[in-house]
Amino acid sequence: MFKKILIANRGEIACRVIKSAQKMGIKTVAVYSDADEAALHVEMADEAVHLGPPPAAQSYLLADKIIQACKDTGAEAVHPGYGFLSERESFAKALDEAGIAFIGPPAKAIAAMGDKIESKKIANEAGVSTVPGYIGEIEDANEAVKIAADIGYPVMIKASAGGGGKGMRIAYSEQEVHENFDSARNEAIASFGDGRIFIEKFVVEPRHIEIQLIGDQHGNVVYLNERECSIQRRHQKVVEEAPSPFIDPETRKAMGEQSVALAKAVGYFSAGTVEFVVGADKSFYFLEMNTRLQVEHPVTELITGVDLVENMIRVAAGEKLPFTQDDIGINGWAIENRVYAEDPYRNFLPAIGRLVKYIAPEEGPKGDGKVRVDTGVIEGSEISMFYDPMIAKLCTWAPTRIEAIDMQIDALNEYYVRGCGNNIDFVNAVMQHERFRSGNITTAFIAEEYPDGFEGAPLSDDLRTRFAAVAAVCNAIEVGRASRISGQSTPQVLPYGPDRLVKIAGSEHAVSVAGQSDHWLVTIDGTEVVVDDAWRPGDVRFKGTVGAGEITIKIDRTPTGYHMSANGTKVDVSVLPSRIAELSQHMLEKVAPDTSNMLLCPMPGLIVRVDVKEGDSVEVGQALAVVEAMKMENILRAERKATVSKILAEAGDSLAVDAVIMEFE
Catalytic residues: 288
For 312-381, give the DSSP string. Answer: HHHHHTTPPPS--GGG----SEEEEEEEESEEGGGTTEE--EE-SEEEPPPPEEETTEEEEEEES--TT-
Beta carbons of 212 and 225 less than 8 angstroms apart: yes
Task: State the Cα–Cα distance between residues 476 and 259, nearest whole angstrom.
Answer: 61
Beta carbons of 78 and 88 less than 8 angstroms apart: no
Q: How many other CB atoms are there within 10 angstroms of residue 90's CB atom?
A: 12
Nearest Cα to Cα of residue 523 among 545, 481, 495:
495
Nearest Cα to Cα of residue 105 among 258, 312, 274:
312
Beta carbons of 524 and 464 less than 8 angstroms apart: no
- Angle in degrees, 0-180, between the axes of helices 89-97 and 63-73, rounded to the nearest 10: 30
The 3-state secondary structure of 72-91 reads HHCCCEEECCCCCCCCCHHH
Beta carbons of 344 and 57 less than 8 angstroms apart: no
Task: State the Cα–Cα distance between residues 228 and 247, nearest whole angstrom.
Answer: 9
Task: State the Cα–Cα distance between residues 258 and 128, nearest whole angstrom.
Answer: 6
First to last CA, the chain: 69
Task: State the Cα–Cα distance between residues 648 and 149, nearest whole angstrom.
Answer: 38
> What residues have CB less than 8 Å from 570, skipping those under 6 apart?
425, 456, 563, 564
